[in-house]
Amino acid sequence: MTAGNVPQQSTDAPTSPLEIPELAGTFSYRFNGYAMTQDRPFYLLGVGQLSLDAQGKITGDHQSATTAIEGQEATVMTGEYTLYGQMTLSKNGAGLAEIFFTKKAGEGLNVLGKFFVQVAGNVDHFWMISSKAFTFKLTTGQFGDEAVELASLEAVRLVLPKR
């Protein structure tokens, strides 16, 4: 085997276990994916901002746009959501998140989303993908149908310029 074919040890690997307090901060994110309602597929995408505290509590807001993938009457529907939830993280940077998306304007449903999480290289960047979702009624606090949704999210630490 030549020297060019020998696997190299990464120098970017974490030197200590990752924990939620290290990830705590404010992140901007973008997401996209698919949802299915009444046997009709929809494409969804959006942007937002979330804050994660040292205990893993998530708060934030996002805006989304959705459109039916088929059908001549397809239009773009938009919505604004407030979000809150909880994230847990294993020492290897993999974890889980559970987030309530509560509609504050526009079209859409209130949803509880469950996600797989992976810190991406360092604590300034992480990814999430859907693992399950349910609709819920804010007035009664009861969950409805499973929301057939598959989405991925990429979050980057928000750093404001110094003044």
pLDDT in tens, 11-35: 444 455 688 999 999 999 999 999 8
Residue 20, H or E segment: helix 20-23
Residue 126 has pLDDT above 70, yes or no: yes
List all residues 6 or more positions away from 156 whose beta carbon is below 8 Å from its beta carbon: 27, 28, 29, 124, 125
Handedness of CA 131, 116, 60, 47 (dihedral sign): negative
What CATH number should be reported for the domain whose range is 19-156?
Answer: 2.40.160.20
Q: What is the mean pLDDT of the chain?
A: 86
Q: Please tell me the pTM assigned to this model.
A: 0.83
Q: How far is CA 98 from the centre of its chain?
A: 9
Whether the CB-CB separation of 58 and 83 falls below 8 Å is answered with yes
Residue ranges per domain, the chain?
A: 19-156
